[in-house]
Structure 1
Amino acid sequence: MSSQPDAPPIVLLDPRVIDRADEADEQFEVCLPFFDVRGLVPRPLQITVETTNLDGEVMVTTYERGLARLVHHEIDHLDGLLYSARMRTGVELIPVQQYGQTGRAWFFEQ
């Protein structure tokens, strides 16, 4: 996973979120187990992740906005969570057809 086509891949070995911003936003997410629906998921706008690189060194990296959302989503999978577990109580999944008419690409104000 990378933010740009020519960016190196992000390698996360045994990642752990060690800090997260209080500021969060809600965006629609999708995942293969729920491919026909979308869910409005709140996520922190910034997370700091401790991980091990391929040389066995511990690294700490901070991710922001869309990349923070993607990395947090994937770490949730490693922790046994699907995005539906992060949705606010009472917020329902919506069919992909409905999302296609009302959804939008992720947007983050500068």
Structure 2
Amino acid sequence: MTEVRPSQRMRELGVVQHGAPALDTPSTALDLPAERATAELVIDQLTEAMDRIARAHDFSGKGMGLAAPQINIAHAAAAVRPAAPGAETIVLLNPRITASSDEIDEQYEGCLSFFDVRGMVPRPLRITVETTALDGSKVTTVYERGLARLVQHEVDHLEGHLYIARMRPGVDPIPVEEYRQTGRAWAYDQ
């Protein structure tokens, strides 16, 4: 019997895979509050997809994110589930990074859209993100460390970029079989 690759498993769970045009195309901003019903539907679809994915893979160490293009929806919406037990899902509608720290670190990231590999990605340790609430108001939030990494990863998806575009030149992703940090949180200096 042939082993099912992680990327095939994600495809079966409804996640668009690397090479699909949806992943290379910048998302369309939601006109809020006029498109509130559409935004709520997209949020529901992201939540349902994340529930399916979480039943198939343990994300307790680092958390999980999913952007609408990964489930073939062209709107600028994403969701992030922090690793902290009981933490609420963060919904990102029309997110825009408005500031980032000069301090960066480099950690392994995975992506549901090419789950067979992991790559070392440098990212700022702190970011400020402006999103749009369902009522059309702007909300500004600061994210740090692992949560900043997750949010940046999803914002990249909405801009039509994958994490491999953020990797240093000459650094290649490693096969998931060589990755030894599944189920563990990212490590940060105190």
TM-score, length-normalised on structure 1?
0.90
Which amino acid counterpart does residue 46 of structure 1 have in structure 2? R
Q: What is the alpha-carbon root mean square deviation over aligned residues?
A: 1.5
Residue 170 of structure 2 aligns with which residue? 90
CA-to-aligned-CA distance 1:17-60 (integer Å, 9 cap, x gap): 00000000000000122211110000000000011112221011
Superposed counterparts of 1:71-82, under 5 Å = 71-82=151-162
Count of residue pairs brought into register by the alignment? 108
How far did 1:5 drift? 3.1
DSSP-derived class of the 1:17 partner: strand
- Contact 1:11–1:53 under 8 Å retained in 2: no
SS in structure 2 at match of 1:11: strand
Q: Which amino acid aligns with 1:2?
A: R
Instruction: State whether structure 2 residue 94 is matched by structure 1 residue 2.
Output: no
Answer 1 or 2: which has greater helix percent: 2
Q: Say which of 148, 159, 171 aligns to 1:68.
A: 148
Does residue 34 of the first structure (1) align with residue 129 of the second (2)?
Answer: no
Unmatched 5+ stretches in structure 2: 1-79
Matched, 1:43 2:137: no
Structure 1 residue runs of 4 or more that deviate by more than 3 Å after TM superposition: none
CA displacement, residues 74-103 of structure 1 (integer Å, 9 cap, x when unaligned): 0000000000000000001111111238xx
For the 8 Å contact 1:42–1:87, the answer to whether it is kept is yes
**Which has the larger Rg?**
2
SS in 2 for 1:75: helix
